[in-house]
Chain A
Amino acid sequence: TQLLEQSPQFLSIQEGENLTVYCNSSSVFSSLQWYRQEPGEGPVLLVTVVTGGEVKKLKRLTFQFGDARKDSSLHITAAQPGDTGLYLCAGGPLISNFGNEKLTFGTGTRLTIIP
């Protein structure tokens, strides 16, 4: 069974500060995704990384996939209240059938940005 542990589980910081959220596993994944989920809604995909060491930027968000494809990080610069939400990482298995994958989701990081 593949497991993804996220840390911290809860994070509350002031607007304007920087933060990093981590997603770690002992398993290798073919791809790693980050989703954000707001209360009462479903998760929405932010980014997909597929290559070991890959870095992707989405405005103030920077995503990195570990060299061994076992871990990932999400760094937010100058956090805004709109960044508040539950951040979930999800890994795709190495072997997939039918061109689709069963994603394994992390435990989640609940982020609160205080104005």
Chain B
Amino acid sequence: NAGVMQNPRHLVRRRGQEARLRCSPMKGHSHVYWYRQLPEEGLKFMVYLQKENIIDESGMPKERFSAEFPKEGPSILRIQQVVRGDSAAYFCASSPLNLGWANTGELFFGEGSRLTVL
């Protein structure tokens, strides 16, 4: 299965610790999006990355949160000094680079990483 892979699926952290969430996009996809989902809510956009480039981080908190998508390896969403309000499911999605696909915007989602902050 060459789908979007996220790990860990579940992560428990105490307040003040760091959380690192990883995402490997589908094969051939060069665009990665991170979304956050709170219980019983929809998905909120956080950041959009291409390899070695942050395209749009308008949805990501300015403090404690950072994201990268290196030339080699998975995309990483890093949350420093976690607080209870960071508890959520974090979803990664990928899409191919294909101008002919513009305006259909299909995203392929991973199964999510569920962060619990104690």
Q: Is A48 an interface residue (CB 8 A)?
A: yes
Q: How far is the CB of A57 from chain B (nearest CB, A)?
A: 18
Which applies to chain B's interface (DSSP): helix, strand, loop or mixed? Answer: mixed
From B41, B43, B103, B104, A43 is in contact (CB under 8 Å) with B43
Q: Which chain B positions have C-beta within 8 A of A48?
A: 104-106
Please report which residues of chain A, range 86-115, place their CB below 8 angstroms from some CB of chain B when the two chains form the complex. Answer: 88, 90, 92, 96-108, 110
Q: Is A30 an interface residue (CB 8 A)?
A: yes
From A30, A106, A110, B103 is in contact (CB under 8 Å) with A30
Q: How many angstroms from the CA of A4 to the CA of B101 in the assembled complex?
A: 23
Besides A100-B101, A102-B48, A103-B105, 17 other A-B contacts (C-beta < 8 A): A30-B103, A33-B106, A35-B109, A42-B109, A45-B108, A48-B105, A50-B103, A88-B42, A88-B43, A96-B102, A98-B55, A99-B102, A102-B33, A103-B45, A104-B45, A105-B43, A107-B42
